[in-house]
Structure 1
Amino acid sequence: MNGIYGKVALITGGAAGIGLHYAKELLRNGLRAVTLADVNEERGIEAVEDLTREFGSNKSLYVKTDVTDKEQFADAFERTVDKFKNIDILINNAGIMNDAIWEREIGINFVGTVIGCILGLHHYLPKYKTAKEGIIVNVASTTGLEVFGAIPIYVATKHAVIGLTQSWGTESHYKRAQVRFLALCPGPTDTTLALDGLDKNLGPAYQDIFRESQPFVTLQGSDYVAKGLIHAIVNGENGSIWVVEDSETPYEVVIPSRDKLRIMNYHDLELM
């Protein structure tokens, strides 16, 4: 499998939910080994036991990691290299959706992603990748491609992750480091992060907006999102954005440049 077979991955927030499904789907597609970097030690140990039962020993490692702590994040990379000798794929998956604790939300969703990208791009993937190319997948959200007034700070973090991915996913960065960047944008998914609480925002006014604007959605399973990750890794070009929603085949989103948007708007005005 292109980009996966025989490689080693590190997944943040990998001890449960979509992160653990990513690990399993990667291993099913020929991944050699995976590190689960997660702050929840109990779930991390259980996840490794789960992976060992399904895929055998020496296939997985858990490292307790707060992604907002540079030293802890770097330790996850170091222990991965110590055990598996390589690191090829970084999945920046750790995230929370809770505007009520927005400083922590920004720290995990965006700052943690930045830390992971810098460690992966500047230090570990170029030096320890198994073959020619390393891969960094930043997990955003469909909310990173739209607006939702009930949780503006969460939405902003996901917009930021997409901008970060595209800016590092340029040809100049690829030429110097041979690391391919991808953004994965899951739609509403059946996880602990799902839109199931009215208290994860800035107060009653935002709760009212939530009630008024939240459409009916059918939550997709985490397994569909994990398959979408494989699709993006196999098919995605550097800097590309992939959406996985409604349990359907992933599709790529191309954001027009500012100049093209200006031309489009001018053309629209001429037609009025």
Structure 2
Amino acid sequence: MATFDINGKVALVTGGASGIGYAIAVALLAKGVKGVTLADVATEVGERAVKEIEAKFGEGKAIFVKTDVTNASEFEEAFQKTVEKFQNVDILINNAAIALEKHWERLIDVNLCGVFRGTLLGLETYLPKYKSGEEAVIINVSSIAGVAPFVACPAYTASKFGVHGLTLAWGHPAHFKDTKVKVIGVCPGITLTQLGAESTENLFTDRYKNIYLSTPELDPNHPKQTPEEMSPHVVRLIEKATSGTVWIVEEGQPPYQYEMIKREQIEDKNYID
């Protein structure tokens, strides 16, 4: 698969007002995209982010669209306003997420259904119709909790495993052949964002908190990365990664591919008597 040329493209980033989403938007602009849409529920933060981008990259490089990814009409409006402003949309970053275990239904709706909704809109309608080149790209942001469970956070883990699965399904060559849209998964390691700060305050009970504090990856001394450290690696995946692949980006290091073992490759099957 040829390298995807980011220069002159247009990106829509959910959860784009701050954290990982904002860092990816800035990294894309630094690489030469024509414009970015920051789709987020945080209006004040989003509008401030647009001003910061314009101060650095020039006027007209970004717009903010208030978007709750659990609301289908708002999500579609983000695509529509992107096309109205920039005439195209080539890259979708499904990044919006929360970590509120106590509100697990809302968490699943944002983290999993929101990514499903965005991929469906992007893959089936907007990217094939409004891409400016031969191909378009969807990045689905999962987590290292999407390849191995955070046992204190079953809702978050379930949502991120789901993102992993839908990425493998929609990233299959059978879909790419028809749509020319690459679907790629990114699993960030522990990253310094507001999402992480939410976690311990919203577990089900103190019993879960004790488990949380004993999880190696969640230890305060475990190596972490900033959004600014990981975002250039995401840009590189947009350029180079093959559809249907999933990549771990942790500790500010280059991405490495995660592949699930196929069941037919299991040699020592542990049958139960």
Report if the CA contact (8 A) 2:140-2:185 is conserved: yes
Report if the CA contact (8 A) 2:53-2:62 is conserved: yes
Structure 2 matches for 1:206-245, cutoff 5 A?
206-213=208-215, 214-215=218-219, 216-245=221-250
Structure 2 matches for 1:1-272, cutoff 5 A?
2-194=4-196, 197-213=199-215, 214-215=218-219, 216-260=221-265, 262-263=266-267, 265-266=268-269
Report if the CA contact (8 A) 1:113-1:138 is conserved: yes
How far did 1:244 drift? 0.8
Report if the CA contact (8 A) 1:5-1:30 is conserved: yes
Q: Which runs of structure 1 show a deviation greater than 3 angstroms over 4 or more consecutive aligned residues?
A: none
Aligned residues: 266
Q: Following the alignment from structure 1 to structure 2, what is the Cα–Cα distance between the partners of residues 245 and 148?
A: 16
How far did 1:30 drift? 1.1
Q: Following the alignment from structure 1 to structure 2, what is the Cα–Cα distance between the partners of residues 191 and 227?
A: 17
- Aligned residue type for 2:83: V
- Aligned residue type for 2:224: L
Q: Following the alignment from structure 1 to structure 2, what is the Cα–Cα distance between the partners of residues 196 and 39?
A: 16
Structure 2 stretches of 5 or more lacking a match? none
Q: Following the alignment from structure 2 to structure 1, what is the Cα–Cα distance between the partners of residues 171 and 143?
A: 18
Which SS does the other structure have where 1:182 is aligned?
strand
Q: Following the alignment from structure 2 to structure 1, what is the Cα–Cα distance between the partners of residues 202 and 124?
A: 35
Report if the CA contact (8 A) 2:100-2:199 is conserved: no
Q: In angstroms, what is the RMSD of aligned CA positions?
A: 1.5
Which SS does the other structure have where 2:194 is aligned?
coil
Deviation string for 1:224-252 (max 9, x for gaps)? 21012012112210111111101111111
How far did 1:204 drift? 1.8
- Aligned residue type for 1:222: P
Q: Following the alignment from structure 1 to structure 2, what is the Cα–Cα distance between the partners of residues 126 and 234?
A: 18
Q: Following the alignment from structure 1 to structure 2, what is the Cα–Cα distance between the partners of residues 87 and 23?
A: 14
Farther off after superposition, 84-93 or 208-217: 208-217
Which SS does the other structure have where 2:190 is aligned?
coil
Deviation string for 1:166-188 (max 9, x for gaps)? 10001111111110000011100
- Aligned residue type for 2:180: Q
Q: Following the alignment from structure 1 to structure 2, what is the Cα–Cα distance between the partners of residues 239 and 3?
A: 19
Report if the CA contact (8 A) 1:100-1:199 is conserved: no
- Aligned residue type for 1:134: A
Structure 1 stretches of 5 or more lacking a match? none
Which SS does the other structure have where 1:199 is aligned?
helix
How far did 1:196 drift? 6.3
Q: Following the alignment from structure 1 to structure 2, what is the Cα–Cα distance between the partners of residues 130 and 87?
A: 7
How far did 1:223 drift? 1.0
Report if the CA contact (8 A) 1:166-1:240 is conserved: yes
How far did 1:212 drift? 2.8
Share of identical aligned residues, percent?
40
